[in-house]
């Protein structure tokens, strides 16, 4: 009698050999030139003696970088530092802590981003984060949304560096893991470099060693959060100058970075690069990061390997949190739609993965069906 598992294994084998076993390891030509990727990867020649853990990271993104997304990203890259979505102190102090903080061991290294502006509350929440096993606590000083402004935190905190310093000090005193700050280079019409230099200087005096600089201003009135990620001009030179002025600090640059060449360029000026939208929409890009930025040449997983590796995770999550807990298959697979970006058949893959009838059936074998719709690449 053939078990369901055996059947599935055979089908995986069949689909993979039909598409070409190593086909899904390859990047399409377009991506090859765009991302300057070739196999085998050589280690990145820059700063190669000591590689900081946050050399490359995936940005905190509300509604996107939830625990399922992070597990998926972790299957693509072993070392890239991952961030949670922002969790507010209010949600943690008055809500279900486990629901907000639970994560899977395999996600490490992973940082918890907090939103808040009351030092005592932030210290308490930082402690929760440390107890839960996070590797870093990050304070959000960059979010411009109206809801966040009403709570008097996020980007509007940049107008109150002394308060941010108090918050950082309170968190720093409460935990032994790193406390870091993610911020913009200015708010509204504050256009001069001195503004962000003084902000960083004040917070560094309170014990913060790591600053993640989204290199554009936040406009607090008149622009939506989405527009605030697109319209204010990027000024990478401000982040580079921060590293020159504060060489003892870890400066990580963020905003609009989309290619390996760009990452390499910034790593010759600052300590790390944080990636947001490009990492989410084109996640397989990150398969090159371990070798290139962490000197870890372990075999790169193919896209099919990654899909296969997600299966047991999805099954376990659905078993634990399905029906009663309300977890739907789509809550996990929605983060995987970009896995085949740029490959022949990517559209059919996405269509299958977002087919509402199949999703409603709640069977993760959907991943296999989606994979089967990929087209073999010409040799």
Q: Which sequence positions are flagged as catalytic?
A: 143
Residue 206 C-beta: closest distance to ligand FMN, Å: 19
Structure tokens at 339: 């896995």
User: Phi/psi of residue 113, each to 5°?
Assistant: -95, 130
Residue 116 C-beta: closest distance to ligand FMN, Å: 13
User: Phi/psi of residue 17, each to 5°?
Assistant: -75, -30
Length of the chain measured in residues: 379
Helices (H), 155-235: 161-174, 193-205
Cβ-based nearer residue to ligand FMN, 242 or 372: 242
Cβ-based nearer residue to ligand FMN, 161 or 364: 161
Q: Which of 23, 57, 73, 85 binds ligand FMN (CB under 6 A)?
A: 85
Other beta carbons within 10 Å of 269: 16
Q: Segment 109-148, which members bind ligand FMN (CB under 6 A)?
A: 113, 140, 142-143
Q: Segment 245-304, which members bind ligand FMN (CB under 6 A)?
A: 254-257, 275-278
Nearest-10 crossing angle of helices 67-76, 303-321: 150
Report d(CA 360, CA 323) in Å as an integer.
12
Cβ-based nearer residue to ligand FMN, 255 or 364: 255
Residue 88 within binding range of ligand FMN, rule CB under 6 A: no
Other beta carbons within 10 Å of 281: 13
How, if at all, do strands 210-214 and 250-254 pair? Answer: parallel
Structure tokens at 175: 């935990």
Residue 152 C-beta: closest distance to ligand FMN, Å: 16
Cβ-based nearer residue to ligand FMN, 80 or 352: 80
Q: Tokens 């929760």 appear where?
A: 128
Report d(CA 309, CA 29) in Å as an integer.
26
Taking residues 220 to 249 in sequence order and writing x for each that binds ligand FMN by CB under 6 A, - otherwise, the string is ---------x--------------------
Report d(CA 369, CA 110) in Å as an integer.
31
Q: Tokens 């084998």 appear where?
A: 13
Residue 114 C-beta: closest distance to ligand FMN, Å: 10
Q: Segment 17-76, which members bind ligand FMN (CB under 6 A)?
A: 59-64
Q: Which residue is closest to ligand FMN by CB?
A: 276
Structure tokens at 163: 């308060």
Residue 200 C-beta: closest distance to ligand FMN, Å: 16
Taking residues 146 to 185 in sequence order and writing x for each that binds ligand FMN by CB under 6 A, - otherwise, the string is ------------------------------------x---
Binding site for ligand FMN (CB under 6 A): 59-64, 85-86, 113, 140, 142-143, 182, 214, 229, 254-257, 275-278
């Amino acid at each position: 009698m053939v078990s369901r598992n055996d059947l599935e294994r055979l089908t995986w084998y069949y689909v993979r050999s039909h598409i070409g076993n190593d086909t899904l390891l390859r990047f399409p030509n377009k991506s090859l030139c765009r991302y300057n990727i070739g196999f085998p990867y050589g280690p990145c020649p820059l700063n190669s003696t000591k590689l900081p853990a946050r050399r490359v990271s995936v940005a905190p993104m509300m509604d996107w970088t939830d625990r399922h997304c992070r597990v998926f990203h972790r299957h693509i890259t072993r070392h890239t530092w991952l961030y949670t979505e922002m969790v507010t102190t209010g949600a943690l102090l008055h809500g279900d802590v486990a629901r907000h903080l639970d994560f899977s061991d395999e996600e490490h290294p992973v940082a918890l981003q907090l939103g808040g502006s009351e030092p005592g509350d932030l210290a308490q929440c930082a402690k929760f984060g440390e107890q839960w096993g996070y590797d870093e606590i990050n304070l959000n000083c960059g979010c411009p949304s109206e809801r966040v402004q009403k709570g008097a935190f996020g980007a509007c905190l940049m107008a109150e560096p002394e308060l941010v310093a108090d918050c950082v000090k309170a968190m720093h005193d409460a935990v032994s893991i790193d406390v870091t700050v993610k911020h913009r280079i200015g708010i509204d019409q504050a256009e001069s470099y001195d503004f962000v230099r003084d902000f960083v200087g004040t917070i560094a005096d309170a014990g913060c060693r790591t600053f993640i600089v989204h290199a554009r201003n936040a406009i607090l009135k008149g622009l939506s959060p989405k527009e605030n990620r697109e319209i204010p001009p990027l000024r990478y030179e401000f982040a580079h100058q921060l590293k020159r002025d504060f060489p003892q600090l870890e400066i990580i640059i963020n905003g609009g970075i989309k290619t390996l060449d760009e990452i390499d360029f910034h790593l010759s000026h600052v300590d790390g690069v944080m990636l947001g939208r490009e990492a989410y929409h084109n996640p397989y890009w990150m398969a090159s990061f371990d070798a290139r930025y962490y000197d870890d040449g372990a075999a790169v997983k193919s896209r099919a390997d990654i899909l296969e590796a997600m299966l047991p995770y999805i099954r376990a999550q659905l078993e634990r949190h399905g029906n009663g807990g309300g977890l739907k298959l789509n809550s996990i697979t929605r983060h995987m739609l970009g896995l085949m970006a740029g490959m022949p058949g990517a559209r059919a893959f996405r269509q299958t993965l977002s087919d509402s009838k199949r999703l409603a059936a709640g069977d993760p074998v959907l991943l296999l069906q989606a994979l089967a719709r990929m087209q073999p690449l010409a040799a």
